[in-house]
Structure 1
Amino acid sequence: MASIALGGIPINTNGDLPKIGTKAPNFSLIKNDLTVATLEDFAGSRLVLNIFPSIDTSTCATSVRKFNEKASQLENTKVLCISRDLPFAQRRFCGAEGLENVITLSDYKSDDFRKGYGLEIIDGAFAGLHSRVVIIIDENGIIKYTEQVPEIADEPDYESALKEL
């Protein structure tokens, strides 16, 4: 269990992030067209999992914009922006922002992803949502980097994450 904060108030997650050097757990998430995407669908690509509580908050929106700008320019790299938002909200946001280099995925139908990756907030005002996390997965499906952002309102460490790519 990770101890993080929301507005300086301590809250907790349901577990720990997957360990660096291990095989990334599979997932089933919903794409904007309401079809299912799994980790296996991205086999052979390096992945940035940009995970956050909701795309409709300023810090979450900023992280989507920054990863769209920085990581999407890297060779053989896909940026997956993952939240519990409905796919319609994710598509609306990316369309309004002109973001074409990120893939938004939702786990609104199932709790397997947030529980399996140890990033579900279990108490406080955001209980049931994702904590702010960045995970880098290499082209072989191995976890190379994880960051559990200690204060939800803070942005992730983009440079450290991108160095792993």
Structure 2
Amino acid sequence: MVQVTFKQNPVTLPGHEVKVGDQAPDFTVLANDLSPVTLNDTAGKIRLISVVPSLDTGVCSDQTQRFSKEAESLGDNVEVLAISCDLPFAQKRWTEVNNVNTITTLSDHRDLSFGEAYGVTMQELRLLARSVFIIDENDKVRYVEYVPEGTDHPNYDKALEAMKEVTN
């Protein structure tokens, strides 16, 4: 079981821990227009999934903007998804204000489907724990990072190095 803290306080992450080599669990989240989105909607693509507690906080905003900038050079066969429990309307506003258009923001607020499937729901806060997943075009998990302290940044360099290995 993955153990993380948020502001140095331990949080409970129910659900399934995802590991490298696993078949990527399916999930249903909401697009900014409230339409459902599943893993199958990006079938055949390599996915970098950046998970944040809330886009409207400093580290989460920085993380999403960083992966957005990196998305420009990752190639046409890569989808970068940012998933949080923010409402779809707030995500849309955030992307417009921050001029982010190279990634897709998705909301897990309704069912916590992604959070439970990937073991990232912070039960005490009803937010998602900061994490990064890379899933290849065959839906195999190729990289996993559960960030130990929720207010810290993920290891961008390690994630991007893993992405290069998957795309080559």
Given the two structures, how large is their TM-score scaled by the length of structure 1? 0.93
Specify which of 119, 131, 134 is matched with residue 133 of structure 1: 131
1:80 aligns with 2:84: no
| Aligned CA-pair RMSD | 1.2
- CA contact 2:48–2:134 (8 Å) conserved in 1: yes
The sequence identity of aligned pairs, in percent, is 38
Aligned residue pairs total 162
Question: Which aligned runs of 4 or more in structure 1 are off by greater than 3 angstroms?
Answer: none
Equivalent residue number for residue 166 of structure 2: none
> Is residue 7 of structure 2 the alignment partner of residue 41 of structure 1?
no
On the 8 A contact 2:16/2:117 being kept in 1, the answer is no
For structure 1, the 5+ residue unaligned runs are: none
SS at match of 1:164: helix
Equivalent position of 2:98 in the other structure: 97
Instruction: Tell me, yes or no, if the aligned pair for 1:2 and 1:16 is still in contact at 8 Å.
Output: no
Contact 1:87–1:106 under 8 Å retained in 2: yes
**What CA distance in whole angstroms lies between the structure 1 residues aligned with 2:110 and 2:5?**
26
Per-residue CA deviation, residues 68-117 of structure 1 (Å, 9 max, x unaligned), is: 01134211111100001111100100100110101000012212221111
TM-score by length of 2: 0.92
Match of 1:11 in 2: 11
Please name the residue that 2:27 is paired with: 27
Contact 1:72 1:102 in 2 (8 A): no
SS at structure 1 position matched to 2:21: coil
Letter of the structure 2 residue corresponding to residue 67 of structure 1: F
Distance 1:80 1:118 in 2: 17
Partners in 2 of 1:132 and 1:47 — Cα distance? 17
Instruction: Give the letter aligned to residue 135 of structure 2.
Output: I
Residues 10-32 of structure 1, C-alpha deviations (whole Å, 9 max, x = no match) = 22311453121111011111001
> Where does structure 2 lack aligned partners over 5 or more consecutive residues?
164-168
Q: Note if 1:151 corresponds to 2:152.
A: no
Contact 2:71 2:103 in 1 (8 A): no
For residues 140-164 of structure 1, what are the alpha-carbon distances to aligned partners after superposition, in whole Å with 9 as ceiling and x for unaligned? 1110000000111111111111112
**Whole-Å separation in 1 of the counterparts to 2:9 and 2:29:** 30
